[in-house]
Structure 1
Amino acid sequence: MRDFPSRRRGWWARQTPRRRVFFLALGTLTVLIAVGVGAGVGVQRRKDNGPAYLVDPTTPSGPPPDAYPPNPSPNGTVWQPQANSTWQIVLGSPITIASTATSTVPDVDMFDIDLFGNSASTIATLHKLNKKVICYFSAGSYEPKRPDSGDFKKSDMGKELAGWPGEYWLDVRSSNVRDIMLKRLQLAQRKGCDGVDPDNMDGYANDNGLSLTSDDSIAFMTYLSSAATSLSLAIGLKNSLDIIPEVVNMTHFAVNEQCVQYNECKTYTPYLDADKPIFHIEYPSNSPQLSAGDVSNSCNTRVDPVSYGAGGGTGTLSTLLKKMNLDGWVQYCDGKSSTTPTES
């Protein structure tokens, strides 16, 4: 058999010393280029896709869904409404306002409107007119016709709210309920709301069927406040007078219904002391045909910051008179009334 020494010795052994030097240099150069390209790709990914850990090949599909908190608002601050601010609340229907409008009806500092029913463009138009927007949602009760109603579990619900068929008290201790409310806060931020008005925080004071206590509502408000402020949203306390001392420092305003009717307005002294507004609603039984006496009685808030405000606050209640359906009609303590246009 013919011998093939070149095969026995191998390809490298057959090369001359000069050629070996050449191939060694070429190989070194190739390795350096490969390393450089790989590093360049890594830097580009960090630049385009966020944190450096995205370069890690063990994360092939990017970060987990909860890797980033919701984006903060552009200025990164939380709006603090001023005491004595003027306002209007419309929850019965979405409000209507032309993108070319030059004023609002009425011409007030702030509008409290439904989170789900009103569009981001409506809120943007109000902002163009230098109005602030608080977005309403029910945090403590299940409502059957909301877009996310199907996300609640049967175990989240307690007894039906008296007078509100199909609406049930929620277990505010439930992690599922809290997750849903976080998504609502995120929706409020995306729509451009300046603050939120979470309703039905007082399940503890009602026959809720869940053994809720005031401590449960305080803990829930603590959760909502932390989440809202992280999203640069102001947050208010709706009614729930019993927990005012515990939550006044974590809220930016209060919304009250009927403290005149029930002689409870002086309970809001901590908000007055802190110069935080109390957006106050009364529902005179004969609205909107109110006499001067009706207006006077409803506006007799019986809160005197000098007498009750030990902290020296200068605010008073921002009172308005409404119909129970919270449509566009409103009347103020100076006797002036107007109607905000709404969808029919």
Structure 2
Amino acid sequence: MRIRPAPAAPRTRPARVLPRGLCRGVAAVMTVLLLAPVPGCERPLVPPGAPTPWPAELAWRWQWQWQLTGPLDVTVEADVFLLDPVRTTSAETAALRDRDRRLVCQVRVGTYAPTDPDADRFPAELRGSPVTGRPDHRWLDVRRWNTLKPVLADRFRLCRGKGFGAVAIDDADGYLHRPGFPLDFDDQLLFNRRLATLARQLDLSPGLLGDVPQVAALAPDFDFAVNQECVRRRECAKLLPFADARKPVFHVEYTGDPAEFCVTTVGYGFASMRKDRALDAWRDPCPLP
């Protein structure tokens, strides 16, 4: 029997050796391609509490909602929601942020209430006279900044941790009342400016709720204003320093016909609506211009 010789092994081409620099370049390109996200596959990751942006050029077109009582309605067609940071849950803020809503927390900065979760952090010597209409609330001595700052900073941090991007400081006008301390215009002005700085340090956009007599002085320090009943009180023109600077003015009336007061406030460039004083979910917004 003839034994056939085994077939010769096929010739192979010698491997081409790329220059070292080119090898590194190819490796870098492949790494980028492998790690790059595929468009449409994933939503960008947002850190907990990261706020939605506040583009100034769109501010005059924002509708808003102010709700402090009743079950929170996250389906309201509004761009901005002003809410109580204590009673609003992280799940509710997440639902609103998922719909690209801008969230503002309302924080009392110049008054004390025994029902506040942090009430024991306000020394007795800081508590002054009762607030008119709220006998269980008392004015605070806002000149005591070093004592108040850490407490208010923690209130702001609560807002930030729940996903709020802005804070509206409330009860920031004790000098206009009888607070039980010799507060004057300059004391309040300094305190409010310090609060605006503190908010920015904690990555929150500061807003001024009320304190209309100081608007002209404080407009450069704050990003927006919240006003109640400037039409009824005949003081809407005093809010123009915000509107003229293209900063939002969120305005509410509790009486009157929106068909009548909207002509004035929308003409000024405000975002206006009619609400019940209870500040529940109901609202009747003015149409956008």
State the number of aligned residues.
239
SS at match of 1:279: strand
Q: Distance in 1 between matches of 2:115 and 2:143?
A: 23
* Paired residue secondary structure (1:211): coil
Once the two structures are superposed, the pairs formed by residues 143-292 of structure 1 within 5 Å of their partners are 143-174=113-144, 175-284=146-255
Which residue number corresponds to residue 43 of structure 2? none
Please report how far the alpha carbon of residue 300 of structure 1 lies from its aligned counterpart in structure 2 after TM superposition: 4.5
The one-letter code sitting in structure 2 at the alignment partner of 1:317 is F
Specify the SS of the correspondent of 1:83: helix
Instruction: Give the alignment partner of residue 93 of structure 2, picking from 112, 123, 127.
Output: 123
TM-score w.r.t. length of structure 1: 0.65
Residue 122 of structure 1: CA displacement?
1.2
Q: CA deviation at 1:144?
A: 2.3
Q: Name the SS for the 2:242 alignment partner.
A: helix
Q: After superposition, give the CA deviation of every residue in 1:23-61 in whole Å (9 maximum; x if it has no partner).
A: xxxxxxxxxxxxxxxxxxxxxxxxxxxxxxxxxxxxxxx
CA distance in 2, matches of 1:260, 1:76: 31
Structure 2 counterpart of 1:92: 69
Q: State the Cα deviation string for residues 178-216 of structure 1 (Å, max 9, x = none).
A: 221111111111111010111111111111111111212
Q: CA RMSD in A?
A: 2.4
Query: Can you list the C-alpha shifts for 1:212-245, whole angstroms capped at 9, x where unaligned?
Result: 1121221111111111111211110111111112
- Bigger Cα Rg: 1
Match of 1:299 in 2: 262
Amino acid across the alignment from 2:273: L
Q: List gaps (5 residues or longer) in structure 1.
A: 1-71, 98-103, 285-292, 306-315, 336-344
Which amino acid in 1 is paired with 2:65? Answer: Q
Percent of matched pairs sharing the same residue: 32
Please name the residue that 1:110 is paired with: 80
**How much does 1:78 deviate?**
7.2
> Aligned pair in 2 of structure 1 residues 77, 89: CA closer, same or farther (>3 Å)?
closer
Once superposed, which parts of structure 1, at least 4 consecutive aligned residues long, lie more than 6 Å away? Answer: 72-78
Structure 2: gaps spanning 5 or more residues? 1-46
- Per the normalisation by structure 2, the TM-score is 0.76
SS at match of 2:276: coil
